[in-house]
Structure 1
Amino acid sequence: MSEAGTRTVERALAALLATGGRGRDGGEGVDTGASLLAADPTADAELRRRGEGFVRLAWERGWQPADVVRLVRRDLDETHVRLVTDLITAETEGYERLPPRWSGQLADLAADVGQERPRTDRFSHATAVLELYLLLVRLPALEPVGPVPGTPLHLPPAEGEPRMLTRIRALLAKAEATGYPPEAEALTAKAQELMARHSIDDALLADRTLRGDVPGACRIGVDAPYETAKAILLDAVATANRCRAVWNSAYGFSTVVGFEADLTAVELLHTSLLVQGTAAMTRAEAEQRAAGRKRTKTFRQSFLMAYAHRMGERLASATEHVTADAGAHPGEGSAALLPVLAARDVAVEDRTDRMFPETVATRVRGVTDAAGWTHGTSAADAARVPGGGGTGGGGTGDGRGRIRPGTDRR
């Protein structure tokens, strides 16, 4: 490591932080630092090492790979996304084992790793690097949703994905692929039914074997546009699967708290419903245009809000139906089902309250397009959810969610 290069990096970072790093707004910090770095190729290795250190600092503050990349993509541009992806990949390669869910997040980033980068001059490259580093060092601490890399992990040996989850994935994939809405809706309803049964089986097994399960947490991205409606949909899916969701609008994600089997169900179903809801909205817009009526952003927002509102009712009804059916049929553990589920609900609520002590329930208003609301409700109403009939009609356009004042908003 070049001592001269190290000194150059230190001078560049000092210049960056001394002026607030407002390079894109006319400040001198980024420009000064980039000029120093561009003139000294011996600083490159040390500059990269510092970047990996900033990534590690993000992990220690509660961030995970998907969270960081999502924020970089929103606040900077694709050049910075490629830079941070390379840093994350290099930093995480040194760990023997990674926390749960990290492997999936890193796999999603892998497509960008190793791709040929656009050629650029040294000053432009250094400018982008310093802009990225400034974002990384300013990341605040988040509520942790799992251990950081390098922490000893006591995980059971991997035995492959349960067959039930494989079936659920297949049903949702078919629902997303079909061009026939009633078929998609029936497939999704069946998937929710299987999820509810899987959750019940897992809860009874944990109780019977004294497995000592405790609630965990994960983060799910909630991206613009129409992020309010998307967050409400996620909250509805979480509630139907015995989880709790808290939306952090400032950083574009919701934290979902629940037991592992239920968290997996929420991740799968929310992703699929977003795909299906967007497709249904596109079809509704096409019908409106064909009838000579111009559709607007308010139509799309109202559509997705109605879709989330009604789908939440129907998913919850499906879960109640499966739970009642499981408790009504004699079998091993059936007598203990309701107490077991009640205990899990209390545990999830307690974990959520400890993670987000200032979170409160609130209402969201703003649905102003009656046609959008009607079409969105109809799209969700068509779902053939077992036990989901008779949930009532109408709706006010209000959604309920959990927020934390100043950070998490719904």
Structure 2
Amino acid sequence: MSVGHGTIEGVTSTASTVERAFRAALYDDTDTGLDTGASLLAADPAADAELVRRGEEFVAAAWQRGWQPADVVRLVRRELGDEHIHLAAALIRAQAGRDRPRGRRWTAQLTDLPAAPAREADRFSQSTTALELYRLLLRLPALEPLEEEPRRAAGPAASRMLGRIRALLAKAEATGYPQEAEALSAKAQELMARHSVDEALLAAEAPAPDAPGACRIGVEPPYEQAKAVLLDAVAGANHCRAVWNEPLAFSTVVGFEADLEAVELLYTSLLVQATHAMTRAEAEQRAGGRKRTKTFRQSFLAAYAHRVGDRLAAVAEAQVGQDLLPVLVTRETAVTGRLERMFPETTTTRLRGVSDAAGWTEGARAADRAQVRSRPRLG
């Protein structure tokens, strides 16, 4: 009697069913192959456990190629549908139970996985979803690894500071008053700068446990070029470096942990504020009888990103006294070294589709309203 392959008294084994389905569907991009594989799986309920096990293997292989849970979910959301997202999340959770510990950021991504839907589809649809997802996972390219290096655990003071920053940015996103959003964002940036310098001084006293890390932040269409410019500006103002991967819709940000958190928080908040401002500007343009197009929105966000970048850079230059420069230069050198090891070859790109004068003007005005004010010099 064979186990896992072959037949037992004419009944195909579960492993063989899955293999036959994979041969039909995973290595053939046609709908016919997909339907054949899904039919095989739908007709053999005993193959379900093996199908899940193989899915977990695909997930584990993705980690070996440098992917993380949020990366996989982001790609699945862009390329496939909600049912594929829920299946990917379920497989990631199941695989995590047998995986090694991978650090705080990884754990947070597991916590943020979407919940399973309440209703289930028929067996053929479920099998089709699984095979479509596995097709995608099978073809994932290798990414630069973001393994978390040992670093100092955040103390209670740091946790309280980040909590205050999150609360301020949440209020800035929620308010309908530009002046209030500006004031709240400015206060958040002040706290970020103080937090960053405090971390730098602490690391100077005990440098061994701390080293630059990296994270990936989604830069989703539409208008992804302008969003990548905005993220690059936020990263630079917070002592980090960003490298944009346009095909996979994310940027890798390299920096020290406290600064990475600041970049994630501020970029997300500014993007929300920019979207609100763009919506208001479009409404005003339509009220004036002018029909707005995609070029208006692209130009708006491009101007917003550039203007915010200029103001963030000016604020960053005014934040630090001369006595702190050696500490920050040392950290900048470490960040640059980590980035160059991860990305030995990078190229620059120019913004495309920025041709709407009204969009550019309105975006610059919105950035002025969202500007981050200066604060007393540090050091």
So what's the TM-score if we normalise by structure 1?
0.84
The residue identity in structure 2 corresponding to 1:344 is: R
1:40-60 Cα distance to aligned partner (Å, 9 max, x none) = 111110010000110010011
Which residue of structure 2 lines up, in the alignment, with residue 118 of structure 1?
120
The residue identity in structure 1 corresponding to 2:28 is: G
Matched residues in 2 for 1:171 and 1:158: separation? 20
Which residue of structure 2 lines up, in the alignment, with residue 76 of structure 1?
80
Q: Cα distance 1:154–1:256, how it changes in 2: closer, same or farther (>3 A)?
A: closer
Q: Report which stretch shifted further, 171-180 or 92-101.
A: 92-101
Which residue of structure 2 lines up, in the alignment, with residue 219 of structure 1?
216
Matched residues in 2 for 1:307 and 1:175: separation? 17
Which residue of structure 2 lines up, in the alignment, with residue 21 of structure 1?
28
CA contact (8 A) 1:321 1:386 kept: no
Q: Cα distance 1:93–1:68, how it changes in 2: closer, same or farther (>3 A)?
A: same
Q: Cα distance 1:163–1:176, how it changes in 2: closer, same or farther (>3 A)?
A: same
Matched residues in 2 for 1:229 and 1:385: separation? 19
- Secondary structure in 2 matching 1:217: strand
Matched residues in 2 for 1:157 and 1:368: separation? 47
How do residues 139-288 of structure 1 correspond to structure 2 at under 5 angstroms?
139-146=140-147, 159-160=155-156, 161-288=158-285
- Secondary structure in 1 matching 2:350: strand
- Secondary structure in 1 matching 2:217: strand
How do residues 255-334 of structure 1 correspond to structure 2 at under 5 angstroms?
255-324=252-321, 327=322
Matched residues in 2 for 1:53 and 1:96: separation? 14
- Which structure 1 segments of 5+ residues have no match? 148-152, 328-334, 389-410
Deviation at 1:178, TM superposition (A): 1.0
1:313-359 Cα distance to aligned partner (Å, 9 max, x none) = 111222222213xx4xxxxxxx3x11111111111112111111110
The residue identity in structure 1 corresponding to 2:301 is: L
1:113-161 Cα distance to aligned partner (Å, 9 max, x none) = 3x313332x22221211111111011111001125xxxxx856566455
CA contact (8 A) 2:229 2:306 kept: yes
CA contact (8 A) 1:230 1:304 kept: yes
Matched residues in 1 for 2:211 and 2:151: separation? 14
Matched, 1:107 2:111: yes
Matched residues in 2 for 1:203 and 1:266: separation? 16
Which residue of structure 2 lines up, in the alignment, with residue 131 of structure 1?
132
- Residue from 325, 331, 353 that aligns with 1:344: 331
- Secondary structure in 1 matching 2:141: coil
Report sequence identity in percent: 64
Deviation at 1:13, TM superposition (A): 1.4
Which residue of structure 2 lines up, in the alignment, with residue 401 of structure 1?
none
Matched residues in 2 for 1:157 and 1:200: separation? 17
Matched residues in 1 for 2:347 and 2:121: separation? 49
- Secondary structure in 1 matching 2:95: helix
CA contact (8 A) 2:234 2:263 kept: yes
The residue identity in structure 1 corresponding to 2:82 is: E
Matched residues in 2 for 1:315 and 1:280: separation? 19
CA contact (8 A) 1:197 1:322 kept: no
- Secondary structure in 2 matching 1:361: coil
Matched residues in 1 for 2:147 and 2:150: separation? 13
Which residue of structure 1 lines up, in the alignment, with residue 89 of structure 2?
85
Q: Cα distance 1:77–1:53, how it changes in 2: closer, same or farther (>3 A)?
A: same
1:81-124 Cα distance to aligned partner (Å, 9 max, x none) = 11111111111123463322122222221x423x313332x222
Q: CA RMSD in A?
A: 1.9
Deviation at 1:229, TM superposition (A): 1.0
The residue identity in structure 1 corresponding to 2:368 is: D
Matched, 1:7 2:7: no
How many residues were matched structurally? 365
- Secondary structure in 1 matching 2:215: strand
So what's the TM-score if we normalise by structure 2?
0.91
Matched, 1:44 2:31: no
Matched residues in 2 for 1:273 and 1:168: separation? 13
Query: Could you list the runs of 4 or more consecutive aligned residues of structure 1 that deviate by over 4 angstroms after TM superposition?
Result: 153-161
Matched, 1:31 2:35: yes
1:211-263 Cα distance to aligned partner (Å, 9 max, x none) = 34221100000111111111111111101111111111111111001111110
- Secondary structure in 1 matching 2:67: coil
Matched residues in 2 for 1:364 and 1:384: separation? 22
Matched residues in 2 for 1:308 and 1:226: separation? 11
CA contact (8 A) 2:241 2:335 kept: yes
Matched residues in 1 for 2:150 and 2:243: separation? 27
Q: Report which stretch shifted further, 124-133 or 372-381.
A: 124-133
The residue identity in structure 1 corresponding to 2:91 is: L
